[in-house]
């Protein structure tokens, strides 16, 4: 055996195998180093996010997850009987933070920009995230889905007004008309389901402003200060958790700890939490790739698709008025999308030089001077 291993040709084969193994190991190490450098560099992480998750991908991802979490949360709140919407939101953000902590321990959580946003801005974003998400779940508990969607219509003009006052962003008249058609269609589609509770109506009204500010900040921070979705989530989640804990005694009934935490119930709640993380991530990606108004329009499109899907697939009959309203809203959304695509193609410049990666929204808006943009899409 020793003589065989000592032969010259056998030694060459073993040496070649050792060399191949060394080259493979070096290649794996280079790949790991490349990934590490990409994610540890804010510019590289932002560039990767834009390349892998453009507007169409981000919006589709957010749409699929949003529809899935609606049915999952309905299962948790109605079938499982977990009547604690703020505490459920708190569980969602705890699971999100744990998942991001795992990514950070593996050194694949994108780094924050070297010139980070002011602490007051991140604190404000975490605060309005707690309000918008928590109050939305409370509104769904007390009001019908139709009234909840009606209250979301008010978010669109709130965003347009706030962006005009804060960033001097203007919306073209044609887009104003299409947004009005979309809002009218959604109102007609959900007018047959306007059951609400007085307390729930007050919660819905209180939710509008935080929701608009939340979307604006998510969009502007990613587009103007080079944040990625995960990096911004990592920074703001602790603030959100703090304010959710403060909201629990005020808006949740007592008895969450005495709930029947069986295996099936806990599994359903954890699945809802995982979808909550994906919803937050996909929503942040969509806001970073498009705009706050576009994200609201996507939510209204989701409402119409669910209504029409129930009608055609499950023989649900919301009435001819609601069906016509849904088709009207979808027609308005189609025109809105066409106007955005036309604006993007008309403003595409042959000069694509940028030391800091800019989102497609910035290009659509003609954002060449560092401002947030002249027109919202």
Domain residue ranges of the chain, discontinuous segments joined by +: 53-346
Specify the pLDDT at position 365. 43
Spell out the residues 6+ positions from residue 351 whose beta carbon is closer than 8 angstroms to its own.
Answer: none
What is the full DSSP assignment across 106-117? TT-SPPPPSSPP
Which tokens sit at 9? 């040709």
Q: Which of the residues in the chain have pLDDT under 70?
A: 1-46, 50, 114-117, 145-146, 191-196, 310-311, 313-317, 341, 344-377
Calpha distance 299→372 (Å, rounded): 23
Give me 196's structure tokens: 């609400």
Which pLDDT value is given to residue 88?
A: 92
Task: Please report the pLDDT score of residue 58 as a whole number.
Answer: 87
pLDDT of amino acid 192 = 66
How many angstroms separate the Cα of 185 from the Cα of each of 153, 191, 297? 10, 10, 12
Taking the model in full, what pTM does it have? Answer: 0.73
| Residue 311 in tokens | 């009608």
Contact in structure between 365 and 377 (CB atoms under 8 Å): yes
pLDDT the model gives residue 369: 42
Instruction: Write down the pLDDT at residue 97.
Output: 95
How many angstroms separate the CA atoms of 179 and 322, rounded?
A: 18
Would you state the pLDDT for residue 264?
93
């Amino acid at each position: 055996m020793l003589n065989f291993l000592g032969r010259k040709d056998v030694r060459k084969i073993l040496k070649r195998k050792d060399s191949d193994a060394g080259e493979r190991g070096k290649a794996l190490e280079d790949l790991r180093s490349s990934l590490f450098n990409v994610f540890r560099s804010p510019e590289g992480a932002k560039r990767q996010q834009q390349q892998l998750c453009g507007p169409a991908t981000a919006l589709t991802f957010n749409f699929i997850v949003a529809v899935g979490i609606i049915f999952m949360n309905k299962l948790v709140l109605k079938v499982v009987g977990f009547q604690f919407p703020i505490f459920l939101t708190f569980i969602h953000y705890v699971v999100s933070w744990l998942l991001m902590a795992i990514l950070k321990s593996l050194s694949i959580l994108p780094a924050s920009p070297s010139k980070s946003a002011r602490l007051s801005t991140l604190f404000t974003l975490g605060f309005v995230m707690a309000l918008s998400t928590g109050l939305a779940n409370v509104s769904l508990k007390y009001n019908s889905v139709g009234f909840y969607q009606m209250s979301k219509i008010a978010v669109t003009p709130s965003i347009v007004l706030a962006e005009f006052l804060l960033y001097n962003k203007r919306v073209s008249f044609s887009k104003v008309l299409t947004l009005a058609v979309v809002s009218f269609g959604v109102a007609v589609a959900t007018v047959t389901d306007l059951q609400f509770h007085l307390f729930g109506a007050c919660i819905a009204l209180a939710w509008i402003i935080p929701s608009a500010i939340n979307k604006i900040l998510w969009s502007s921070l990613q587009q103007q200060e080079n944040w990625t979705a995960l990096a911004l989530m990592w920074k703001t989640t602790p603030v959100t958790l703090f304010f959710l804990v403060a909201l629990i005694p005020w808006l949740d009934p007592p008895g969450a700890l005495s709930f029947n935490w069986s295996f099936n119930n806990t599994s359903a709640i954890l699945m809802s939490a995982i979808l909550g993380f994906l919803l937050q991530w996909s929503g942040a990606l969509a806001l970073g790739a498009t705009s706050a108004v576009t994200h609201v329009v996507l939510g209204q499109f989701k409402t119409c698709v669910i209504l029409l899907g129930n009608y055609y697939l499950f023989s649900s009959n919301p009435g001819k008025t609601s069906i016509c309203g849904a088709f009207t809203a979808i027609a308005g959304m189609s025109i809105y999308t066409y106007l955005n695509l036309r604006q993007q193609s008309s403003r595409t410049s042959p000069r694509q030089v940028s030391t800091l990666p800019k989102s497609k929204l910035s290009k659509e808006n003609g954002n060449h001077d560092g401002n947030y943009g002249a027109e919202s899409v």
